[in-house]
Amino acid sequence: MFFIYIIQLLQVLGQDDDPIHTSIIHGSSDLGYYFVNIYVGNPPQRQSVIIDTGSSITAFPCDACDQTKSCGIHLDQYYIRNNSSTQEELDCKSQFGECTCLRCLNQQCIFSISYSEGSHLEGFYLKDQVIFGDLLMEANSVTSVFGCTTRETNLFKTQQANGIMGLSPKTNTSLAFPNIVDDIHTQHNGMNLFFAICIGRIDGYMTIGQYDYSRHQKNSAYYTIQYMHTQNKPVYGVKISQIKVHNKTILAGADLQSGGGSFIDSGSTLVNAHPDVTRALVNFFVCESANCPQMQFNDDLACYVYNKTLHGSFEQFISFFPTYQFIMENNFIFDWTPRDYLTKDMVQHDAYCLPVAGYSGSVRMILGQVWMRNWDIGFDKENLTLTFVRSNCSSDQLKHNFTADDWFQNELNQSNITVKTRYPPKNVDQEFLYEALKIVIVVLTSIIIIIFIVCIRKRNLSKQNKKGSKLPEAEDEAQKAVQKNVVVVQ
C-alpha cells in the first residue's frame, strides 16, 4: 500500500494547486475511450473505469467473476471483497440515495445492462468506501454503491480498463443509485454537485466538486448554457441552433434538434449523426491546398493523407481545413477546429480523418470524445448547466505552450503501441427502457395472476352452486320414496 501512495505522489508532483478530487484521465481516440483510476475498499484497491456521461452505472469485475470464462483480462486485479473490511452487499430492500433496489435475485440486488452494439454487463451491487483523486493521502473517501460484475461481453470484456463509471443525469434518482459525484456532494461539505472533464488528444484530467482553475489560462472565457434532460432521455442534451463553416450555415437547428436531439456522450469515440447531418459535415471537409491529395474513405470516415514534404509541419497541415462552428444559446460559439477534430486513421498511420460517422439508430446527434477534446467541460447537475472553457487538457503540464506538432507527434508515437478500438454509440435509452419493460412485465404478470385467481374462484363457486341446486332435488326424491313406502304399508 505504501508503494501505491509513493507512485501516486510522484504522478501528481508539481500539481499542488489541483483540487483534492482531481484525477488524471488516461486514453486516446486510438484506444477508443478515456478512463480514470478510483480506489475502492479499505485498504484501497485500484480500479480503472471508463468515464461515460451516457451511462448511469459504475461497475467492474470482482472476485465473483470467472476470469477464464465470464470476464476479461484488464489493467487491474479484480476487486476482492474479503480484502476490504468495509464492503457490504446490497439486498433486495436496500436503499441508497433516491434509489431502492430495482431488481432482485436470491436475496441479492442485481443488475443487467445490454448496449446496442452487443456489449453486456451483469452482476450484483455492493457498497464500500471509494476514493476519487490521485492524491490518496489528501482525498477523503465516500461510501458509494457500485456493481460487482460477474459477466461481461464484447468490448467490456476485451477493453484494457476494468469497468465503467456512469456519469449521466439519471444517477441518484428512483431509477439509478447515486454515483461518485453525487456521493462526494452529499458526504463532503462544500463540494458542489459538479464534475468537469477535460479530454486531450492523449490523456487529460477530471475534477469533482469544482473546476480545476489552476489548469486554465489567465483571462480564460467561460461559456455557460443549460442542458436538457428528462426521465425518458437521461442525457446531457444541448440545443444547437445551427452549424456554420466560413460563416455559412450548413445545418439548421431543425436538422439538429429532431428526434433525440444532440447530446454529449464521453463513452462514444466519434460524432455519430443521422446520414443527412453526416453528409453535410463531410461535404465541407475540404483540404484547401493544391498539394492535398484526393479525399479517401477509410472505415466510412473521410480522410486525407499527410505528407511532410508536401504539407510541411502539422501546424501548416491543419491550417488547410475548416473550423466547424456550433452555434448555441447565450451567443456561445463552440469552435471545433482541425486541431481538435482531425483523428488519425487506425490502420493508415499517415491519414487524418473527420471523425463523423452515420448512425443507424433513432434520429439524434451524439457528440463523443473527439468533439469534447481541448475543452474543459463542467457538468453542473444542481443547476442543470454546462460550462465550456478552452484548455490544452494536458495530464502532466500546466503550461499552455503546446503546438500542434507536439500533440500530433506525441499521438503518432503512442499509437504504435496502442490497441486500436472505436467505441460505437450505445443506446442510452437502454437502461430506462429496460426498467420500463420490467415494470410492464410485472404489471402484466400481476394481471394474469389476478385473472387466473378470479377464474379459479368462479369455477369453484360454479361447482358449489351446482352442488347446492342438486341437493333439494335429492331431498324431494327421498321424500317421495318415503311417501310411497307409507302408501304400500297402508
Catalytic residues: 52, 265
Number of separate helices (H) and strands (E) present in the chain = 11, 30
291 grid coordinates:
498539394
279 grid coordinates:
453528409
CA 317 to each of CA 9, 289, 347, 460: distance values in angstroms, whole numbers, following the listed order:
39, 9, 20, 85
Task: Give 275's contacts (C-beta < 8 A, 6+ positions apart).
Answer: 358
Closest by alpha carbon to 165, among 324, 312, 50?
50
323 grid coordinates:
473550423
Q: What is the DSSP letter of 213?
A: G
Parallel, antiparallel, or unpaired: how do β-strands 223-226 and 301-305 relate?
A: unpaired
Which position has the grid cell 467561460? 222
Question: Can you name the residues that pair with 204 across neighbouring β-strands?
Answer: 25, 199
271: helix, strand or coil: strand
**Rounded CA separation 408/390 (Å):** 18
115 grid coordinates:
448496449
H helices of 134-203, in order, are 155-158, 180-187
Closest by alpha carbon to 251, among 240, 260, 261?
240
The kind and range of the H/E element at 251 are: strand 248-252
**Would you call the peptide bond into 169 cis, given omega within 30 degrees of 0 as the criterion?**
no
Task: Give 402's contacts (C-beta < 8 A, 6+ positions apart).
Answer: 392, 394
On whether the CB atoms of residues 421 and 32 are closer than 8 A, the answer is: yes
Q: What is the DSSP letter of 26?
A: E
On whether the CB atoms of residues 268 and 426 are closer than 8 A, the answer is: yes
Please count the other Cβ atoms lying within 10 Å of the Cβ belonging to residue 13. 8
Which position has the grid cell 500500500? 1
On whether the CB atoms of residues 78 and 67 are closer than 8 A, the answer is: yes
Question: Can you name the residues that pair with 125 across neighbouring β-strands?
Answer: 147
Q: What is the DSSP letter of 388?
A: E
The kind and range of the H/E element at 248 are: strand 248-252
User: Per DSSP, which regions of 343-469 are E strands?
Assistant: 343-344, 351-353, 356-358, 365-367, 375-380, 385-390
